[in-house]
Amino acid sequence: MAETNGSSNPNDQIVVDRASAKISDLWKKEDYWAIWLGFFILLVGIIIYFNNPPADLQKKIGDANAILAAESAKAPFKTIAWYKAVDAKKKLKATDSAIGKKIKSFTNKPHGWSSNPIQAFIMGEETAGAKKAAATPKFDAAKATEAEALAAAKTAEQAAAQAGFTNESLNASAIKAIDDWRSAHKKTSSAKKKAGAKPYNQIPSLIGLMIVMAVFFGIGWKVMGHNFAKFVKGFTFVFLIAVLAYVASSQGTMKQWGIGYAAWAILFGLIISNTVGTPKWVMEAVQTEYYIKTGLVLLGAEILFGKILSIGVPGIFVAWVVTPIVLVSTYLFGQKIIKVPSKTLNITVSADMSVCGVSAAIATASACRAKKEELTLAVGLSMVFTSIMMVAMPAFIKAVGMPEILGGAWMGGTIDATGAVAAAGAFLGDRALYVAATIKMIQNVLIGVIAFFVAVYWTVRVDNVPGQKVPVTEIWLRFPKFVLGFIGASIIFSLLYQSMGGDAGYALVDHGAIRGMSRIFRGWFFCLAFVSIGLATNFRELKEQFSGGKPLILYVCGQSFNLLLTLLMAYIMFYKVFPEITARI
């Protein structure tokens, strides 16, 4: 339905919707191909992981839950046994099966590195041995510290138990000692990863993955009536730049700065297209929408609606009440006060700022058919402010002595990128991390709802002449169909997760079909999309979008409002209305 108008008026490059539909749309339109390809990957994930569950899954879950029930009835705080039972459940992952490990190895992105980029692809026996030798003393020291902390925690818990858990002072000592043990436990886990350095050569699997993805997208491309061979040829270049983007994002310093693959992919693409120029033979594979829509269908599977109840009512209020209020207010502010010239830019920046950065920007921009420069701008703004807020917010929270849980909820609701939320939350403490991460996760779930409503609003209101009534059939014809795949994947996976029960869902859905399949390919597809955006954009158009600094003003004003409202709501919910939930955490 989306076709380019060939007239010479100023809108001649803008795609218009022609309200017609044919049965052949099912295999001729990329919206449908995004659905078919996305669901194919999800189906493969389900078949693989549901047939390779962890050994004795139900028995292990039952045993752990029995311990949890007994411990929660016994003590007024989380005991050592309580934590160990949760740790036992955490280990139940279908991705740890033999086939899961093979898939991980085949689809791995370039590895982390600090000064030698070759290590992103290859690490020899000698280097791995040296890394291991350097990390082992730290790991041994961490293990010893953890053992000491565990012994101290056991002593403190025993003392509290002997007093029948009625002595407040002994209970507080036990809680503190157990917290110290958990903190030491985390440090040991990180040290263990570094001490487990193994040699690798990622190049053959990257070549294999490139071929698989080229054929995967190429088949759809061919059926849609294009040239398979030309696509595959161009795809090698796009894939190569995507690999370079991952290499840059996996560098140690860039990780610390919170600069991820999306920013690098756009930047590398922009540099090429604005200096030496994107080679013409590559353009056949510069297909932003094809990659992004397929990635969004996969993203839908990762949006599990059951997660919104993770932290009870306070979480819903902080994430699902504040966020839409901020989104709508910022959009209206942009339209009425700042007068942002493009509605699609306005809603993309508003969603990017109020929901969860890049993922929300991608979904919203696709739902309202924003220009690629508008998405680039939104992603750029999000990156800059995420880096600033990741450092500034925990420092401010510590400086003013704000309670951990309030600080965590505040950061979770306001910092855009999830990785930065994890870093800032963990920097404050475990409780802050749990709350921050959970609030952000609930906000992540909102992406699907927002993308759906933005798509409907744009179809019914924005893309029409004012006052014109649009029949339902017309709405259906104009509606971006991949959004249905996105929402459908979310509903199916949410139902699967809920029907299995949280623990089995964690093992088979979350740590199976989602993290072992959907997440991996979705990351690659988004990276390919961002490379394509860069390769097809020139700086002049990007500069035009930034005219008058309006997007920056919009972001700053919206984020300021977000900071105030989220803090207020978090305080009311966690400290005034539901203090008992706060006490449990």
Partner 1 sequence: MAISICNPSDVCDVKAAGAGRSLKPVSQLVACILIILFFMFYAGPKIGQLSWFKPMADFIEERDIKANMYFYTEVEEFSEASINLENTMAYPPGAAR
Region 220-249 residues binding partner 1, contact defined as CB under 8 A: 248-249
Range in contact with partner 1 (rule: CB under 8 A) among 151-159, 330-338, 537-545, 570-578: 537-545
DSSP helix/strand/coil, 543: helix
Range in contact with partner 1 (rule: CB under 8 A) among 97-105, 211-219, 326-334, 434-442: 434-442
Burial 26-46 (b: 16+ CB within 10 A, else e): eeebbbbbbbbbbbebbeebb
**Pair 117, 187: CB distance under 8 Å:** no
The reply on whether position 372 binds partner 1 by CB under 8 A is yes
Which regions of 403-483 does DSSP assign to beta strands (E)?
none
* CB nearer partner 1, residue 333 or residue 559: 559
**Pair 459, 475: CB distance under 8 Å:** yes
* CB nearer partner 1, residue 360 or residue 567: 360
The string of DSSP letters for 331-396 reads: HHIIIIII--S-HHHHHHHHHIIIIITHHHHHHHHHHHT--HHHHHHHHHHHHHHHHHHHHHHHHH
The reply on whether position 14 binds partner 1 by CB under 8 A is yes
The reply on whether position 133 binds partner 1 by CB under 8 A is no
Q: Which of 289, 322, 331, 414 contacts partner 1 by CB under 8 A?
A: 289
In the complex, least distance from residue 256 CB atom to partner 1, rounded to whole angstroms: 4
The reply on whether position 206 binds partner 1 by CB under 8 A is no
Which regions of 182-263 does DSSP assign to beta strands (E)?
200-201
The reply on whether position 275 binds partner 1 by CB under 8 A is yes
Region 309-368 residues binding partner 1, contact defined as CB under 8 A:
310-312, 356-359, 365-366
Q: What angle do CA 215, 46, 297 make, to 5 degrees?
A: 60
Which residues have C-beta within 8 Å of that of residue 320, sequence separation ≥ 6? 308, 442, 443, 446
In whole angstroms, give the CA distance from residue 321 to residue 446. Answer: 10
Region 463-502 residues binding partner 1, contact defined as CB under 8 A:
480, 502
Phi, psi of 201 (to 5 degrees): -135, 105
Q: Which of 200, 257, 453, 457 contacts partner 1 by CB under 8 A?
A: 257
The reply on whether position 132 binds partner 1 by CB under 8 A is no
The reply on whether position 81 binds partner 1 by CB under 8 A is no
The reply on whether position 419 binds partner 1 by CB under 8 A is yes
The reply on whether position 69 binds partner 1 by CB under 8 A is yes
Question: How many residues are listed for the chain in this entry?
Answer: 585
Range in contact with partner 1 (rule: CB under 8 A) among 34-42, 54-62, 226-234, 433-441: 433-441
Range in contact with partner 1 (rule: CB under 8 A) among 126-134, 231-239, 514-522, 553-561: 514-522
H helix or E strand, kind and range, residue 4: strand 2-4
Closest CA to 531 of 112, 248, 253, 240: 240
The reply on whether position 517 binds partner 1 by CB under 8 A is no
The reply on whether position 198 binds partner 1 by CB under 8 A is no
In the complex, least distance from residue 139 CB atom to partner 1, rounded to whole angstroms: 12
Range in contact with partner 1 (rule: CB under 8 A) among 44-52, 199-207, 281-289, 327-335: 281-289
